[in-house]
Structure 1
Amino acid sequence: MSAESASQRGPAVGRGARMRVAVLAATITELTETGYAALTVDAVAQRAGVHKTTIYRNRKTSDRLVADALTHHFATDIPIPDTGAVRDDLRALARSLVAAMTTHAGRALLATALSDAARTPELAEIKRVLFEDRFRRAEAVVTRAVERGELPADRAVDVALAAAHARALSAP
């Protein structure tokens, strides 16, 4: 590697969890700034301070990278609460969801996940993975409520998350 190409990349981040977080954060930043259509693994690698082969070694496609980054981002920014009461859990979850989705980055990332999913198989898969992960994580709220006798075993979490998503999408 030439000194010039090394200086164009960000600081070296090492291996393991630190490298993974740097790559996922760089992907989120690239999606927010340039959008899905303009995202390149080269740009993500440069921003993260890694070589692009590092990214491809861990994720075989750029779509897998985007899906991993979005899933990680939303899992981090929208934690699943455990307040001890389903009503409070669902309110906290909805507030976190709306807060995350109404930021500039949240809107850009949601646009990535939803924009052309009906026409683009890659985006449809990213959307499927993202929402599957969110619903899987949120099931804990309903499971705990059912165990405490607060809810019958139904699909209450689907309704709560759908309402929060609709509110986030309609915000100016």
Structure 2
Amino acid sequence: MTEPGTVRPGGRTARVRAAVLRAAEDALVEKGFDGLDLADVARRAEVGKTTVYRRWGTVAALLADLLTDMAEQSSPRAETGSLLGDLRANAGLVRRTLADPRQGALFKAVIIAAACDERAAAALRRFYRTRIAEWAPCVERAVAQGELPAGTDPHEVIKAVSAPLYYRFLASGDPLDEAAADLAARAAVAAARAGAYVRP
């Protein structure tokens, strides 16, 4: 997940990319995927249309780059010294991102896009694979230390932390608060300790 307010430094190329991606975020939040238009993004970013068309070419390619950037800018994995502490940190990051007015709206637009466009779906899957891989080592460490059963699938444990938070975000409308994040982390740890995520 992406912490709100992160900024990438760099030269002119990086500044152009950052401006275009920020403009794409704005357009997604305001208009959704169907309203995303490269010419409009160029206008919002105050860069030439040819620059945007030459570098990204399609809306799907722009969305893929936006998701790549979001994954790269996400906060690194926490190192709290305990599995529960690490998964609480993960759940807290997911919760803060989804509860943030801008980031939450952006993720909702991207998820809607992924539901109706295979290229957007592929980009979203790559984003989540990156984030899950970032957090999997905390589960691997717990397995190595005997805190979890041998054969526990680290990726499934990490997915189990965020899944109930996304359910609240997209479906149930239940509060997306710190208590929900804590419950998600504790439930994932309990299930993992019970062997629920041991590979067949």
Query: Residue 162 of structure 1 aligns with which residue?
Result: 163
- Runs of at least 5 residues in structure 2 that lack an aligned partner in the other structure: 1-9, 176-200
Q: Distance in 2 between matches of 1:16 and 1:116?
A: 27
Query: Residue 105 of structure 2 aligns with which residue?
Result: 108
Query: Residue 142 of structure 1 aligns with which residue?
Result: 139
Runs of 4 or more, structure 1, over 6 Å off, are none
- Residue pairs, 1:59-98, within 5 angstroms: 59-73=56-70, 75-77=72-74, 79-98=76-95
- Runs of at least 5 residues in structure 1 that lack an aligned partner in the other structure: 1-12
Residues matched between the structures, number: 160
Does residue 1:41 correspond to 2:38, yes or no? yes
> What are the Cα deviations for residues 94-151 of structure 1, in whole angstroms up to 9, with x where unaligned?
1111111122223322222222534432332233233223223232332343444443
Question: Contact 2:114/2:120 (CA < 8 Å) preserved in 1?
Answer: yes
Does residue 1:120 correspond to 2:117, yes or no? yes
Letter in 2 for 1:160: V
How far apart are residue 35 of structure 1 and its match?
Answer: 1.4
Question: Contact 2:110/2:124 (CA < 8 Å) preserved in 1?
Answer: yes
Question: Contact 1:113/1:126 (CA < 8 Å) preserved in 2?
Answer: no
Q: Mean Cα displacement is larger for which, 20-29 or 102-111?
A: 102-111
Question: Contact 1:24/1:69 (CA < 8 Å) preserved in 2?
Answer: yes
Cα RMSD between the aligned structures? 2.7
Question: Contact 1:78/1:97 (CA < 8 Å) preserved in 2?
Answer: no
Query: Residue 6 of structure 1 aligns with which residue?
Result: none
Does residue 1:51 correspond to 2:86, yes or no? no
Letter in 2 for 1:50: V
Q: Distance in 2 between matches of 1:128 and 1:86?
A: 25
Question: Contact 2:63/2:120 (CA < 8 Å) preserved in 1?
Answer: no
Q: Taking structure 1 as reference, are residues 116 and 34 closer, same or farther at Cα in structure 2, changes over 3 Å only?
A: closer
How far apart are residue 77 of structure 1 and its match?
Answer: 5.0
Q: Distance in 2 between matches of 1:117 and 1:57?
A: 24
- TM-score relative to the length of structure 1: 0.75
Q: Distance in 2 between matches of 1:15 and 1:136?
A: 31
How far apart are residue 41 of structure 1 and its match?
Answer: 1.2
- TM-score relative to the length of structure 2: 0.66
Letter in 2 for 1:139: A
Q: Taking structure 1 as reference, are residues 88 and 62 closer, same or farther at Cα in structure 2, changes over 3 Å only?
A: same
* Matched residue SS, 1:151: coil
Q: Distance in 1 between matches of 2:140 and 2:55?
A: 33
